[in-house]
Amino acid sequence: MTQAGRPIRVAVVDDQPLIRAGFSMVLAGQDDIEVVGEAENGAEALDLLRTVEADVVIMDIRMPVMDGIQATEQLMRMDDPPGVLVLTTFDNDEDAFAALRSGAGGFLLKNAPAADVVNAIRVLAAGESVVAPRITRLLLDRVVSDRLEPANGQAERLDVLTARERDVLALVARGLSNAEIAKDLYVAQATVKTHLGNLMAKLHLRDRAQAVAFAYESGLVRPSP
């Protein structure tokens, strides 16, 4: 349930009817989740979300008419955008990285267990980002495997951060939770949360997922060998 005591409202966007139906069937079995609509491409999704409200959007990337990246970018311009859970595969690495930068808050492979999808929806509805699971770390490592040099101008942006904020950002990018970071740095979780909030404000990052993308783009963190 949301803080308002109502079910989490979810929209399912995928160009394959069977996949949409499969997700809707799984989610219909959850007491705290309600499917408010389906769309077969990004343009339909935008039209749908003008008529219904959603807390989370399950978004495919490769779709006709308008892909998931374009749709996510437009959703993020809304006054109160929903969380976007992108479903991807390892053969669409560049698309996945672009979606991360566009503001998507979570990533799962299309063959992820149903329980992982349900959990990700709950995490996004709570205002967090799904960046900690091992599968996400593997995806991010592969996404940036060819990005050996920092993106233009990104490394210089690190100069506004304190040494401790850099430490926190690097550990976030490695997939650690706030509790794990606190243990690693021997500080309180509240301190980690403060550092994270400060660095995101300084770098003008929307959420934890964008922080991960920036850490790789700036060269602060490199992909695992």
CA 55 to CA 111: how far, in whole Å?
A: 23
197: helix, coil or strand?
helix
Contact 104, 209 (CB under 8 A): yes
Hey, how many other C-beta atoms are within 10 angstroms of the C-beta on 11? 22
Hey, how many other C-beta atoms are within 10 angstroms of the C-beta on 59? 29
pLDDT (average), residues 48-77:
92
212: helix, coil or strand?
helix
Q: What is the pLDDT of residues 25-45, one digit of tens each?
A: 999 999 999 999 999 999 999
| Higher-scoring residue by pLDDT: 56, 147 | 56
CA 168 to CA 120: how far, in whole Å?
A: 23
CA 103 to CA 206: how far, in whole Å?
A: 7
- H-type helices in the chain, by residue range? 17-28, 42-48, 68-75, 93-102, 114-125, 134-143, 154-157, 163-173, 178-185, 189-203, 208-217
Q: How confident is the model at residue 77 (pLDDT cuts 50, 70, 90)?
A: confident
| Higher-scoring residue by pLDDT: 106, 38 | 38
Who contacts 37 (Cβ-Cβ below 8 Å, separation ≥6)?
11, 12, 48, 52, 54
Q: Which of 53-67, 80-94, 179-193 has the lowest mean pLDDT?
A: 80-94
CA 86 to CA 79: how far, in whole Å?
A: 20
**C-alpha R_g of the chain:** 17
pTM: 0.70
Q: How confident is the model at residue 132 (pLDDT cuts 50, 70, 90)?
A: very low
**What per-residue confidence (pLDDT) applies to 179?**
83
Judged on CB neighbours under 10 Å (0-12, 13-18, 19+), 199 is buried
**What per-residue confidence (pLDDT) applies to 4?**
65
Q: Please give the structure tokens belonging to residue 206.
A: 């929307």
Q: How confident is the model at residue 225 (pLDDT cuts 50, 70, 90)?
A: low
Strand order in the sheet with 56-60: 33-39, 8-13, 56-60, 83-88, 106-109
